[in-house]
């Protein structure tokens, strides 16, 4: 275990210790007056087939904002939500709405890679800084967007880690790979296939998440391939139905998926077929940040779930900038670019492309109807 995961208490304590915001002008530039009533945005799915993942992110960001406001009652920050439903077709209109709000100084999101590809050019043109806590397609940081930042590792790290786990831990000689054709799912599956090389015994694609109920054709192909592992790139709604139909159809191999499937919705949908499934994620197990986990549970009466801690870290970067009076677009961007502080998930620091300096990938396993940490994939 790397020591980076044993830092939950310092960041929570630091967040609670944030004092009254100051040092900004009313128009968000540097100066001597406070700029109060500023906003941080959440951008992602709060409804739709992948809503659970978006809610996790929103709650993590909201917790950071609420903790900040407890110590800054005279100059509060609010969190405003933009429900994209995870739909790339909806994202541009929402992004256009967001950039017209002059009190909005940063976005935690967008949550998914497809909507990020559609919305991020709008944010970049307007100079609205973003820190995504979950969009993992590697290409997002290759577009030259100055306002783009990502708090967790991309699929160029997660994909090879998943392939390594399949080869080294599961000892698979034949693997069937499928994806949901989304920017995230296909991109990740392609990386996994590339890293598995000759071990790929077959592949297939499904419809977009939530758009398909019958996976019998994929089940037939997987069985015929002789694969002992089935890897799926996509989200939990499709994955739950697919895993169930694979089991019911007689496929006896190991089901493996990635972070888009790391949600209780997968277990509820797949039932007994979820048991034993492996899910990778470049995200922190809650027990590695116990103080954050306790604060989250107190606030929401549930344990933090996928991306909650990452969103908390992302929101705290924006809050630290507000506290320092760096609320104009340029000042905020420079502040994020030079930011370096312990978070609950890692040492939070960004490279020139907005990627995180610290990256780790974990394998999780469904045991007893719960998603629990299995091991960090080195």
Q: How many CB atoms lie within 10 A of CB 373?
A: 15
Alpha-carbon torsion angle 17, 313, 62, 43, nearest 10: 150
Rounded average pLDDT over 328-345: 97
Q: Residues 170-196: pLDDT tens digits?
A: 999 999 999 999 999 999 999 999 999
Maximum CA extent, the chain = 70
What Å distances lie between residue 131 and 5, 109, 159, 163, 190, CA to CA? 20, 6, 21, 27, 25
155-281 in CATH: which number? 3.40.50.2300
Between vectors from CA 70 to CA 22 and to CA 13, what angle results, nearest 5°?
90
How far, in Å, CA of 169 to CA of 185, rounded?
A: 23
Judged by DSSP in three states, 163 sits in helix
Q: Give the span between the Cα atoms of 1 and 15, in whole angstroms.
A: 25
The whole-chain average pLDDT of the chain stands at 91
Token pair recorded at residue 19? 């004092």
What's the pTM?
0.88
- The span from the CA of 321 to the CA of 161, in Å, is 33
- For residues 244-258, give the mean pLDDT: 97
Count of all residues that appear for the chain in the document: 378
Q: Decide: 260 and 134 in contact? Cβ < 8 Å.
A: no
CA gap 201, 188 in Å, rounded: 17
Q: What are the extents of the domains in the chain?
A: 3-154+285-349, 155-281
How many angstroms separate the CA atoms of 232 and 176, rounded?
9
Q: CATH code for 3-154+285-349?
A: 3.40.50.2300
- Output the six-digit token pair for 94: 């929402």
Residues in Cβ contact with 73 at an 8 Å cutoff, skipping those fewer than 6 apart? none
pLDDT at position 56, please?
96
Cβ contacts of 307 within 8 Å, gap of 6 or more:
53, 56, 57, 60, 111, 133, 134, 152, 283
pLDDT over 70, % of the chain: 90
Per DSSP, the three-state class of 233 is strand
Report the Cα 318 to chain-centroid distance in Å. 17
Q: Is the pLDDT of residue 4 over 60?
A: no
User: Does residue 260 carry a pLDDT above 50?
Assistant: yes
With contact defined as beta carbons under 8 Å apart, do 119 and 43 qualify?
yes
Instruction: Determine the distance from the C-alpha atom of residue 230 to the mean position of all C-alpha atoms in its chain, rounded to a whole number.
Output: 23
pLDDT at 35: 64
What does the pLDDT read at residue 36? Answer: 80
- Per residue in 131-165, pLDDT tens? 999 999 999 999 999 999 999 999 999 999 999 99
3-154+285-349 against 155-281: fold identical: yes
The DSSP element (H or E) to which 376 belongs, if any, is strand 370-376
The reported pLDDT for the residue numbered 326 is 97
């Amino acid at each position: 275990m790397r020591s980076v995961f044993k830092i939950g208490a310092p960041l929570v304590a630091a967040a609670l210790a944030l004092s009254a915001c100051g040092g900004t002008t009313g128009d968000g530039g540097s100066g001597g007056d406070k700029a109060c009533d500023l906003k941080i945005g959440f951008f992602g799915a709060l409804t739709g087939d992948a809503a659970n993942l978006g809610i996790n992110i929103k709650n993590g960001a909201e917790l950071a904002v609420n903790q900040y406001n407890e110590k800054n009652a005279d100059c509060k920050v609010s969190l405003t939500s933009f429900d994209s439903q995870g739909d790339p077709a909806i994202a541009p209109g929402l992004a256009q709405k967001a950039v017209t709000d002059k009190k909005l100084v940063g976005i935690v999101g967008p949550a998914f890679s497809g909507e990020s590809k559609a919305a991020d050019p709008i944010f970049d043109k307007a100079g609205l800084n973003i820190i995504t806590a979950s969009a993992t397609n590697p290409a997002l940081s290759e577009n030259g967007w100055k306002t783009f930042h990502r708090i967790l590792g991309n699929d160029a790290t997660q994909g090879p880690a998943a392939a390594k786990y399949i080869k080294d831990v599961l000892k698979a000689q034949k693997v069937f790979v499928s994806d949901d054709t989304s920017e995230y799912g296909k991109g990740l599956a392609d990386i996994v296939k590339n890293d598995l090389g000759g071990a790929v015994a077959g592949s297939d694609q499904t419809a977009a998440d939530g758009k398909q109920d019958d996976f019998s054709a994929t089940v037939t192909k997987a069985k015929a391939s002789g694969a002992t592992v089935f890897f799926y790139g996509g989200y939990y709604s499709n994955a739950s139905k697919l895993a169930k139909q694979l089991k019911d159809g007689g496929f006896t191999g190991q089901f493996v998926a990635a972070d888009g499937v790391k949600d209780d919705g997968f277990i509820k949908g797949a039932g007994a077929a979820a048991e034993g499934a492996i899910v990778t994620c470049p995200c922190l197990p809650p027990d590695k940040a116990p103080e954050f986990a306790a604060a989250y549970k107190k606030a929401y009466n549930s344990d933090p779930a996928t991306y909650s801690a990452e969103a908390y870290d992302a929101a705290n970067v924006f809050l630290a900038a507000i506290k320092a009076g760096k609320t104009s677009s340029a000042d905020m961007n420079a502040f994020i670019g030079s930011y370096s502080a312990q978070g609950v998930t890692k040492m939070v620091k960004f490279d020139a492309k907005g990627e995180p300096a610290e990256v780790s990938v974990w394998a999780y396993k469904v045991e007893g109807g719960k998603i629990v940490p299995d091991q960090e994939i080195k």
